[in-house]
Amino acid sequence: MLNNLSKQRKKILLFFILLLITYLIRIPFLPEKISFNNDAVIYSKNIEKDFFSQSYDVHMPGYISYIYLGRFFYSFTDNTIIIQHLINIILIGLIICFLFQFLNKLGFPLLESFCFSLLFSFNNVLLLGTVTGGNRMFLALCSILLMSVAYEIMVNNKAKWLLLYALLYAFFIGFRQDISFYFFPLYILVMIYSKDLKWMIYSLLIFTGICLTWFIPLVLEYGGFFSYFHILRNYETIQDSSFLFSGFSLSPIINIIRIFIYLFNTLLFILPLFFISKKDQQSADHKIIQLLAFAFFPPFIFQLLVHNGNFVQLAAFLPPVFIYLLLKFRLKTIRRKIGIVLILALLFFQFYGIKMFPNPTNFYKKAFNIIWLQYSYDGVQSEKTLRLKMLTE
């Protein structure tokens, strides 16, 4: 039946099927409570407050655009849990659809773009990030959108798209201020590729203007410029778990180990898929490799040195590493198509399935659970896990 449809209609059909599956594996399992995520509780309390009430107390650096978006939805419903779920459900739809579009732009056929987007939607980062509240899904959406715009600038020589990059970059920083560090090197790279001083200047003006639209309300919510920076300067939340602030102590070392465990866990089943495709590796355009490297390493290094150990933070640099792996792989054989189906089944079972060792005390059983499942939202705790089945019990 698909063969009788035009390419555009096939694309629209696959697009809606992708959305349907993405939502079906999430919406029925959205938890009624998200108090296990401390950040989500803080967001809920501040969403309920009035503008400029002098009682804004979101943890630094403020996440003002997220709170304001929540307050917009609060005018329609006073259930802040529903509001956070709604925002993340919208975000996951945009993430998967823009990834599908970007993969197609990179030269993947429609069916492959569909399969790989579905595979990406099953990873633990996006599954947990969607159902546990909070604003970290903006990291994945920002990453994919900025890479897509950078592709147009670097590969298709569309210098004017630098304006769109600046607009999106500044817009997303309002939701997650750490994005300012993550994608600044890529911003410099696309400026170099644009080779046009006029568009560089315009993009910087747009970037500054958009940033001011959220930065001014942010400092006003904290009581003014000096009050905001006084709080920021004395903020100690990440100082005990960051190499940059606490040096080579045990806490940051453990958190960094967790980053690699989480990344391995996220790619656990798909890595063999790419190893068996080694014989078919094709040399990717060096511009695309540059793009992926500049989208991956800055957030990865920031996570290692500054804000390490947070599982869903991987959403910032998972898309470029995932796409890099895909560049080495094509679904050319029945064996590989069957492999994709089996991997999707295993990922589904990993997240929804039976716990291997309930409440383990043995170190090796704990280690197995950590690799096979994903313990807790923001750390490794032997007594609970945040798989969807557990969340709904």
Do the Cβ atoms of 320 and 356 come closer than 8 Å? no
| Mean predicted confidence (pLDDT) in 380-384 | 39
Alpha-carbon span 291 to 144, nearest angstrom: 11
DSSP state of 34: -
pLDDT at 236: 61
Q: Out of 75-89, 97-111, 277-291, 344-358, which region has the weakest mean confidence (pLDDT)?
A: 344-358
Which two tokens mark 198?
A: 């006029």
DSSP 205-264: HHHHHHHHHHHHHHHHHTTSHHHHHHHHHT--TTGGG-HHHH-S-HHHHHHHHHHHHHHH
Average pLDDT, the chain: 80
Do the Cβ atoms of 319 and 101 come closer than 8 Å? no
Render pLDDT for 220-271 as a digit per residue (tens, 0 to 9).
888 777 777 776 666 665 555 666 666 566 666 777 777 887 788 788 777 7
Render pLDDT for 153-201 as a digit per residue (tens, 0 to 9).
999 999 999 999 999 999 999 998 889 999 999 999 999 999 889 999 9
Confidence of residue 392 (pLDDT cuts 50, 70, 90): very low
With b meaning 16 or more CB within 10 Å and e meaning fewer, what string describes 191-207? bebbeeeebbeebeebb
pLDDT at 383: 41
pLDDT at 131: 78
DSSP element (H, E) containing 150 = helix 137-154
Instruction: Give the amino acid at 350.
Output: Q
Angle at CA 25, nearest 5°, toward 76 and 103?
A: 95
User: Rounded to 10 degrees, what is the CA torsion of 83, 87, 93, 99?
Assistant: -160
With b meaning 16 or more CB within 10 Å and e meaning fewer, what string describes 41-51? bbbbebbebee
Alpha-carbon span 20 to 22, nearest angstrom: 5
